[in-house]
Chains A and B, each alone.
Chain A
């Protein structure tokens, strides 16, 4: 059974086509990697899956529901770790987690137990009562991850989850995610631009570039398709060798500053 199905999905921002007619499916219980360079359209796609953005055209089904018209049911099915900051700086670590647990209806007993457990996983247990604004970037990231794992949804979206994490935390994190995937059959959809991470963790990989899916399959499939020996070579062959900076981001910011009112 496919828990995610996407058909001819397009997202246009004014003049940029961020997601350009993509189609794919993810089977329930699998770990799926969305691999692509900066600006490829990964975050935009995830935002459309999670009801935060409306697609320009195309069809999405998440756990059998359409994010545009059945947003409540879609939200019931998912959890997400965002790429961009999403904590409340004026609350403590513990308060951020508690807030999340209540919003997602995690019962008090399980909530308290998981908060303890997760604070250990991300090594923040002795900082639980500190305000988040006193945290370093890495600590904030770890807290966001703990928060994203606090409720156990049917699908979890992780948008570049390990960006900026040290190797130990990265291992802990993947240990926890794999465990959740195996024990509770949680489908994992993660985006990354680390090839090793995709190769090591994912059952299936889709490579996205300039808003288009250029290849998909298991790591072996992709190597076969491109007649290369490693996923890295396959990736470079598919996406070209030029290094892409996130220069688009700066232009975005200029744009949003000018545009005061939303449509």
Chain B
């Protein structure tokens, strides 16, 4: 019991630190909203007419959940750069030398980044509402939010784990973009997964983001490809996997 309380305190203070750091940097907060808004407006209005003519219905209903997922994956993965900052500014030593379980460190940092990414996703959801997106069923909003939290946790853990192996600030964005682009474009965020060529379909099924997008879209727009149990099952497994690997990598860091 004593132990659990201590773990809680440590995870909380690590979480709090990430939150404070993020919201003290106004540029970061504003800058990270520009891209999803651009995507919403350009794709939503640009492709809307074609999508409708092809018999897909209202494109904004389809794409808004995809853009919410996009803003989450970007914010979450890039949160990993905090580890590299901490290495370069020396603060990582302070955490690593403390008598604290490595999984506490990994989890605290991850939850901090995941909170920021989830909030980001919610802001984009509100913006898409202003543009004309209407959730089918507000009762399912908590399901969508739960999926956003899980996705944010998985991708933050992944970005953090990758960053723990890196030394330099320039390499990280390159690597993360290299990963995010295919994850995003091959996820069903932008197009339906039905009726795709076989190879592309297999690739989309291997993309974790597909399940995140599907869960959010299923809840908000009642368009479900895999089914909730599939979506949640897979993302939950991935969350534990990424946190486990990240904790192990943290135990190997030398500074």
Please report A residues at the B interface, Cβ cutoff 8 Å: 47, 50-54, 72, 75-76, 78, 80, 82, 84-91, 95, 98-100, 102-105, 131, 147, 256-257, 259-262
Could you tell me the dominant secondary structure of chain B's interface residues?
A: helix
Give Cα A174–Cα B207 distance, bound, in whole angstroms. 58
Nearest CB to that of B9 among chain A residues? A102
Residues of A within 8 A of B177 (CB): none
The answer to whether B17 and A262 touch across the interface, beta carbons within 8 angstroms, is no
- Whether B97 pairs with A260 at a CB distance below 8 angstroms is no
- Would you call A260 and B166 a contact (CB within 8 A)? yes
Question: Is B165 in contact with A262, judged by CB distance below 8 angstroms?
Answer: yes
The CA of A89 and the CA of B101, in the complex, are separated in Å by: 24
Minimum C-beta distance from B121 to chain A (A): 24
Give the complex CA separation of A47 and B167 in angstroms: 18
CA distance A102 to B9 in the complex (A): 7
Interface-centre pick from B20, B99, B100 (highest chain A CB count, 10 A): B99
Q: How far is the CA of A104 from the CA of B94 in the complex (A)?
A: 11
State whether B17 touches A51 (Cβ < 8 A): no
User: Interface on B for A, CB 8 Å cutoff?
Assistant: 6, 9-10, 13, 17, 20-21, 24-25, 86, 89-91, 93-101, 165-168, 171, 254-255
Measured CA separation A259–B168 after assembly (Å) = 9
Q: Are B98 and A104 in contact (CB under 8 A)?
A: yes
- On whether A256 and B21 interact (CB within 8 A), knowing A51-B97, A103-B98, the answer reads no
Residue of B nearest to A76 (CB): B99
Asked whether, in the complex, the Cβ of B94 is within 8 Å of the Cβ of A261, the reply is no
For B253, the closest partner residue in chain A by CB is A262
Residue numbers in B under 8 Å from A87 (CB-CB):
89-91, 94
Q: List 20 A-B contacts (CB under 8 A).
A: A47-B255, A52-B255, A53-B254, A53-B255, A72-B99, A75-B98, A86-B90, A86-B91, A87-B94, A88-B17, A88-B21, A88-B89, A88-B94, A91-B21, A98-B13, A102-B9, A103-B95, A131-B24, A147-B94, A261-B167
In the bound assembly, the distance between CA atoms of A197 and B97 in angstroms comes to: 26
A148 CB to closest chain B CB, in angstroms?
10
Output the nearest chain A residue to B172 by Cβ-Cβ distance. A260
Instruction: Write out the residue numbers on chain B whose beta carbons fall within 8 Å of the beta carbon of A262.
Output: 165-167, 254
